Structure 1
């Protein structure tokens, strides 16, 4: 179960990297489209996900952030109760709490764009917390037995 815990924690961290990549793809694609003469208005946003290169990045960012990351965080918390990782439940709880706040910030940032700053900063914190959680599981992994008196691992 420690391995499952570690893998889930690293998957949360990877999902944060994917979040950063998809939103960067979306924004840079949008900016290029505008530079090339595209006009961003309500009609353009409703014309479908292929209106400009990178538009699918917005969809991927939303789907990953509102569905995949929360599912991974909940699974991590559930597994943490069985994995017997030192402070594993605490770290998994911190991951889930951070994910919940991220989703709330991402949702309300559409109405109050200044929240996007906190959303970005908290994403970095989520990445760090998930990596720390994974490292806790690595630290809890059983080590190879040392032969008596050598002070070196058994090979």
Structure 2
């Protein structure tokens, strides 16, 4: 189960990096489309935006599975780290929803995304360290 824990943690960290890349792609695509004279309105969408939305849902599912797996492994502080990852992912969703009404909060959405990747990466590294025997 330690290997599954590590794979899930690493997958979450990599998925967040791809999220960052996709939203950058979305922003540059919006700028390019606007420069080309396309109308950017409520019905506008591009690949980066669509990917970012769909992958966000996938990350949430991974985080939930990660928490479940954390109860089946002996990774030091594994459950706590998985719980933090899931909590940060929930916060990420809340920040995304609120940021549509208050765009400046989008900054916190970006920073929190980095925190998700950092904590997931930390969890992955902890799972790579062999379990220490308990001494009496």
Aligned counterpart, 1:153: none
1:1-155 counterparts in 2 under 5 A?
1-42=1-42, 44-45=43-44, 49=45, 55-65=46-56, 67-140=57-130
Gaps of 5+ in 1: 50-54, 143-155
Q: Which has the larger radius of gyration?
A: 1
Q: CA RMSD in A?
A: 1.3
Asked if the contact 1:86/1:140 (under 8 Å) is kept, the reply is no
Deviation at 1:41, TM superposition (A): 2.4
What is the CA-CA distance between 1:39 and the residue it aligns to? 2.4
Task: Give the number of equivalent residue pairs.
Answer: 132
Q: Which structure's residues are more often helix, by fraction?
A: 2
Q: TM-score, normalised by structure 2?
A: 0.92
Q: Which runs of 5+ in 2 are unaligned?
A: none
Kindly indicate whether the alpha-carbon contact (under 8 Å) linking 1:2 and 1:141 is maintained by their aligned counterparts in 2: no
Q: Give the TM-score of the pair, scaled to structure 1.
A: 0.81
Instruction: Measure how far apart 1:18 and its partner are.
Output: 1.0
- CA displacement, residues 60-97 of structure 1 (integer Å, 9 cap, x when unaligned): 101111x1001100111000001111100000001000
Q: CA deviation at 1:111?
A: 1.1
